[in-house]
Amino acid sequence: MYKRRYAFTQTLVRVPLSARKHFPPARCSRQHTQHAVQQAQAAKASLSPGPIDKQQQNIPQSQVETFQTTAEQTGTRIDKLLACRFKERSRSYIQSLISSGHVQIDGKSPVSKSHRVVPGCEIVVNLVPTEREQPVAAEEIPLEILYEDEHVVFVNKQAGMVVHPAPGNWSGTVVNALAHRYKSLREMNSSRAGIVHRLDKGTSGVLLAGKTQQACEKLSELFAARQLKKEYIAITVGNPAGKGCISRIIDEPVGRCPTDRIRMCVLPEHSGGRSAKSVVQVVASDARSLLHVVKVGIETGRTHQIRVHLRHARAPVLGDELYGAGDINHRFSTLASRPLLHAWKLSLRHPFTNEFLTVTSELPRDMRSLLKRVIYPTFEEEQRGW
């Protein structure tokens, strides 16, 4: 009824845009400048926070700065001007403010980062704090701990849970839960306290965190040196190894998609892609060779790497709305309501004790159910580590 293949290896409160004042465009005359100053002051006063509901209480604060350009600054690019004025901020941060509409020139927003200023113009800058600058709110959220000691903790992240606070998810994250559990992480006062790698929101499985700043630094060094081994289990639509094959190395650079900034894609390095390598092993397939169970080992950790590589191999993860096969996802929607990708195993040498650790996470219920019913009925007997 099913086919099975094996592969053996060694191995200030931020104010909504709708509430902000936008100044009408005008020429940079003295009369306009005085009028713009009055409007800027009124707008700045209107930015005082109102009542904050419970869901908004963790949204970070921002600071609004208003100033006028001088004759000496004539012809200066806006990004260079702001970089000189806010020297403590990086150029990339300034450019992100401009592109996201947090900079107004005479009421116009967004503006081009290459825009050259003229004397007497009114510039309003909303200095939104970066994610790393945000203090973390401790929240009592249950976590399943797979292993921990005084230095590190391995968490079994549930599908649907975000790893760290970010726009759209300022609370309810793994970091919020860890901050409640460990005082040392609260004292780091960072929205990414303890985090040394990430899993996508829809991905379940093993997530490693450091308990102290020193532990985080040492773990980050291990990741940078690629001295950890990460293995995933995925259910794919199609055989990523190719017809009749059971293994494949996908060595393709991954970068931000030029036409869709939400997506990542296989992208040449000269166009901004970064090296990415995934080793795929097919374990089992259903009777029609439509759905496959695969192990994926990654030697790099690029954003969406496995999902992008499997799509590139014409075998996307089942349930993946961003990179998947829409018609097949719809057919299995009751069994696959999220990308069926699970971080199964993480192995490393402990940075303090030198002990070799291997931590695994049992397959979640949705993947186990689909395996038993459709793809691999005997997996519990034949794959005891799952």
Catalytic residues, by residue number, are: 200
244 in Cβ contact with 3 (< 8 Å): no
Q: Return d(Cα 248, Cα 12) in angstroms, integer.
A: 52
* Long-range Cβ contacts of 111-116 (<8 Å, 24+ apart): 111/78, 112/78, 113/77, 113/78, 113/79, 114/77, 114/78, 114/79, 115/77, 115/78, 116/75, 116/76, 116/77, 116/78
For 9, what's the count of Cα atoms within 13 Å in the CB-facing half-sphere? 15
Closest CA to 86 of 121, 123, 122: 123
**How do strand 3-4 and strand 103-105 relate by DSSP bridges?**
unpaired
Q: At what angle do helices 91-99 and 78-85 cross, to 10 degrees?
A: 130
List CB contacts of 169: < 8 A, sequence separation 6 or more: 162, 201
Which secondary structure element, helix H or strand E, spans residue 41, and what is its range?
helix 30-46
102 in Cβ contact with 124 (< 8 Å): no
191 in Cβ contact with 176 (< 8 Å): no
Q: Whose structure tokens read 């990179």?
A: 323
**159 backbone dihedrals φ, ψ, rounded to 5°:** -60, 140
